[in-house]
Amino acid sequence: MSISEVLRRQAVSEVLNVKGVAACFPIWKNSYQSIAGVQPTAKSLVDSLGKNLGPVFKTTGSQGRAQKDLSGGGAAWEGLICWYLNLCLIGTRTVVVKKSVHLPSPVRDSLTLSYGATQTNTESDLVAVTFPDDPVLDSFNDSYRGIKKAELDQYISDAMGQIEVCVIQCKTNWNDNAQIPMLWDLVYSAKGFTISGVSIGRHGHSIHTLRRFAYAFVTLPSNDLAKYGPSKMPVLRLSRLSGGNYWGFDRRPGVAGAVSDIFARNFSSSIQTLGKPWLNHLNQELKSLNTTYSYFQY
């Protein structure tokens, strides 16, 4: 089994066990199956569900903007996005993981910002890693633990120039958080700092050695969607985000893309090198949704 599929199963299985996600998932299931079908196709997942994740999420949404509701909703939104992105990426070299759990150490090191003696990291919820097309990465087994993790970290350390990373920040309060991904993207794109003691990366790893790095924002605004236009400040702050700005609804030019638009922009090297068109590949993989990929609980 490829390492991307080992990590995918672990990431999805764990996110579906998160308290908030587990409570919401049976209700979401009724909603997403009504949109994509009980037996989904690649087209129904990408074209239909990809622009309706907001309505799916809101079937369990709470009213008001109490901080405890926003933070709890943010964790659940993150879980839904992790589940959806990985479902569409089955059988590819790209996997989406929680930064705090399954992110390989060399990638985590490359994202670390040092400010004097203090080290911090991007406020990201999810990180997508696209592994090289290398048979070595097909040799990991389901018990990815211990020495296997050490072997993978060593491989990644030696192959950073072939690996692509996309940080994906997931928030349900666009207005309050838009400046955060904007500023982190600016920090990561900087080639150097004039302030002494400030640097990106540690242990010899940096995002500048990656084949590609991008920063994306996936949001579910709690405000009226009509208030978001190309000239509005929250939109302008994210208009040049390297990985793009997306929301859980249909794309609106100049404002935000649908969640499914993230695939072509950030994972093209993975979905365009499958030996067949991506949607054809996904249709084939979906035949195993009740067996190999039953952990998605679709």
Confidence of residue 119 (pLDDT cuts 50, 70, 90): confident
Residue 144 has pLDDT above 70, yes or no: no
pLDDT of residue 64: 39
**pTM confidence score:** 0.91
* Domain extent listing, the chain: 3-296
Give the residue with greater pLDDT, 41 vs 72.
Answer: 41
Phi, psi of 272 (to 5 degrees): -105, 5
Over residues 224-229, the mean pLDDT reads 91
Q: State how far the Cα of 107 lies from the Cα of 202, in Å rounded to an integer.
A: 10
Confidence of residue 71 (pLDDT cuts 50, 70, 90): very low
Per-residue pLDDT of 45-59, as tens digits, reads: 999 999 999 999 999
pLDDT of residue 221: 87
Percent of residues, the chain, with pLDDT higher than 70:
88
Of the candidates 257, 253, 294, 241, which has an alpha carbon nearest to the alpha carbon of residue 90?
Answer: 294
- Beta-sheet pairing, 198-200 with 112-115: antiparallel
Give the residue with greater pLDDT, 117 vs 125.
Answer: 125
Q: What is the dihedral of CA 203, 209, 210, 211, to 10 degrees?
A: -160
Give the residue with greater pLDDT, 61 vs 93.
Answer: 93
